[in-house]
A and B are shown apart, each in its own frame.
Chain A
Amino acid sequence: MQNKAALVAAVLVLSLAAGYGVSKATGYWKTKGSKNPIKIQKGEFAGENDPGDIRGSYSFNDIDAAFGVPPEMMAAAFGLKGDNPGELQAKSLESTWGELEGGVEIGTDAVRLFTALWTGIPYNMEETTVLPEAAVEILETYRKIDAQKAAQLRISAVKLPNAAAGEEPSETSEDHDTPDRMVRGLTTFGDLKGWGVTEEMWLEEFGKPMGSRAAGIKDWADETGIPMSEIKSAAQEMVDSGV
């Protein structure tokens, strides 16, 4: 070829096109993660999915499929709400909560840590990673993590800013619960407390203490055997009386 510039252009374009074409034809070309975390290679947990490989692009449904963490539980742990918690991505935590006071972070690594604690699979978290208080409560309530571990987590656990004030995270501003204060099965005790319902009011009404902030009243109804319809109407009255 007389003009070497044309040769260089041709070699570059052809090599890239060939790489793309062959990999596409063989099904190897992928520009997105498979959402299948890598498996642990050695030790007691060999063959298990590695929580450390959870990426920011993983949705809560992906994490559920790989690790069996219910999306609703994950969303409650991290103070996120919405009609489809399974579609929330791990990285959405970074934009919602990000770096908090003291330089600690609620982001993808917190999701990895929560998943690891949920499954019992070991994971070395980053130094600045902590869990929200609600996540620790969920782990204590539903996964029976040992007291020592729970105590350790509690020391570093953070109260999420909006959740602490009883408000919804910015991402869930369209959620129906907050503006209309309507008590539903998915309403949590955190919601109720934010809407003015106190432990005393609850105890007086039902004779049993409230659940953890992250626990839903539907689950509490199942645990106590008190009909959901009764809880719902009484709770709604308490909420309305506090307005």
Chain B
Amino acid sequence: MKTERWRRSIQIIFFVLIALIAVNHTLSESGTSIPVPFLADASLHAVCPFGGVVTIHKLITEGGFVQKIHESSLVLGIAVLAAAILIGPAFCGWICPFGTFQEFVSKLGRKLLGKRFGKLIPKKLDGVLKYMRYAVLIWVVVMTAISGKLIFSDYDPYYALFQFWTGEVAITGFIALGIVLFMSLFVERPFCRYACPYGAFLGLTNLFRFMPIRRKASTCISCTKCDKACPMGIEVSNKTVIRDPSCISCLLCTSDAACPVSNTVELKVIPYKELNDAK
């Protein structure tokens, strides 16, 4: 099975699962839930690993969880972090339903704009905007610690997408969703690139992950197909090891996908010595 088929399959499975959980939680509140294996009538918050990040302060200082966050969020947060330390933020590229949603919308954008797709934001500006998600991450973690509440849910387009029918979504959440929806027609994964606090957090694992994506310069033909394939706008072709915090381990740049030369762009454990040389 090719890389993209693997990834699409996993993405669709998790998208459907999360949608099912969201609907089922609504049904459970009216006493008519359907049994979802393993998850019963869990809320969307209960299965979001980012909850494990924002609740850390309260967990350490008070031994409790931020409102609406439960033990399941912490468990999933740890599991996703463990995977990220090994293979990078593959959660973003393979599982996150909101990433999948943006990709679906971007497919439409590609059809509408053709070659102009992805060229709306100049490279320099893109490079600066990429740091914005760290500001969002710091704001979310600090404000959640201060308030003890999930303050981001009022601005979270992911929450708005999967809870739009509940009446619990703030107008700011719908505005954020509208902006992301619109931007996805012009640029790949705009929320992941510029605003996602969880992506920012997981992206840090790119700096030290055990299995980074590497490009073998000796066999590279500099066709830049890897650059064009990257949904996060990383220039893979001028790096030997991808340590960019934006990488989401989607593998679209690798020799199993875009790269036409075998064993040239790969997800691979790099021996310590070689890693240092590469740096």
Residues in A lying within 8 Å of B, measured CB to CB: 3-9, 11-13, 15-16, 18-20, 23-24, 28-33, 38, 41, 52-53, 55, 95
Contacts and interface: CB of A to CB of B under 8 A. Distances in A.
B146 to A, nearest CB: 12
Interface in B7-49: 7, 9-10, 38-43, 46-47
A14 to B, nearest CB: 8
How big is chain B's contact interface, by range?
A: 35 or more
Interface string B114-135: 0000000000000000000000
A90 to B, nearest CB: 11
Contact of B72 (A11, A15, A31, A95): A31
Q: Describe A's contact surface by its main secondary structure.
A: helix
Contacts of B148: 52-53
A11 B87 contact: yes
Interface in B64-97: 64-65, 67-68, 70-72, 75-76, 78-80, 82-83, 86-87, 90-91, 94-95
21 contacts: A5-B251, A6-B1, A6-B6, A7-B267, A8-B6, A8-B87, A8-B251, A8-B267, A9-B10, A11-B83, A12-B83, A12-B94, A15-B79, A16-B80, A19-B78, A20-B75, A23-B71, A23-B75, A24-B38, A28-B71, A29-B72
Contact of A28 (B68, B75, B87): B75
Q: From B2, B10, B79, name the one whose CB has the most chain A CB atoms within 10 angstroms.
A: B79
B62 A41 contact: yes
Contacts of B46: 31-32
B82 A31 contact: no
Interface of B: 1-3, 5-7, 9-10, 38-43, 46-47, 62-65, 67-68, 70-72, 75-76, 78-80, 82-83, 86-87, 90-91, 94-95, 148, 167, 249, 251, 254, 256, 266-267
Contacts of B5: 5
A134 to B, nearest CB: 25
A106 B90 CA distance: 43
Cβ-closest 4 pairs across A and B = A19-B79, A31-B42, A5-B6, A38-B64
A12 B90 contact: yes
Nearest to B10: A9
Contacts of A11: 83, 86-87, 90
Nearest to A34: B70
Nearest to B94: A12
Given A9-B94, A15-B83, A19-B78, A31 B43 contact: yes
Nearest to B13: A13
Contact of B251 (A4, A13, A19, A95): A4
Given A8-B94, A31-B39, 10 more contacts: A5-B2, A8-B7, A9-B9, A11-B83, A12-B94, A15-B79, A32-B43, A52-B148, A53-B148, A55-B67
A44 to B, nearest CB: 17
B173 to A, nearest CB: 16
Contacts of B90: 8, 11-12
B256 A3 contact: yes
Contacts of A55: 67-68
Contacts of A15: 79-80, 82-83
A175 B230 CA distance: 60
A82 to B, nearest CB: 15
Contacts of B254: 4
